[in-house]
Amino acid sequence: MNGDHDLLELDRERALELLARAAVGRVVYTIRALPAVLPVSFRLDLSDGGGVLLSAPAGSELARAVDDAVIAFEADEVDGVDGSGWYVTVLGRAQVGPAAGRTPGAVRIRIRPELVVGRRLPPRTDRA
């Protein structure tokens, strides 16, 4: 199994480029002090200070739990055969606001990237 020393660290710009290619990621937050992970569709917005944008039903547990909280967001692409690929994690404060008329009953969640960590995963050299 590859250790952390085998992972190639990506600079912020390259990590965000890869993140922009992904269609689905995972938002990581807490509910009553317990960790929660939810797969979500998203888009990367590089205007206005940037951010990961997702939508959720207004009043949903997700929208209530992340409003003004520091949360994590992760997306990746991994080859199922050799394990090569990449992952990007964004940490930042979430802001919940109106969905700008796009979807009735929905809110927009913006995660402002305070820390962006990206790594490239090399192909596995061992076969279990």
> Could you report the per-residue pLDDT of 72-116, keeping only the tens digit for each?
999 999 999 999 999 999 999 999 999 876 678 999 999 999 999
32-59, pLDDT tens digit by residue? 999 999 999 999 997 766 799 999 999 9
Under the banding of pLDDT at 50, 70 and 90, the label for residue 127 is: low
Backbone angles phi, psi at 92, to 5 degrees: 180, 175
Give the global pTM: 0.87
Say yes or no to pLDDT of 1 above 90.
no
Q: Residue 101, Cβ neighbours under 10 Å: how many? A: 7
How many whole angstroms separate alpha carbon 28 and alpha carbon 66?
A: 9
In single-letter form, the type of residue at position 30 comes to: T
Check: CB of residue 73 under 8 Å from CB of residue 52.
yes
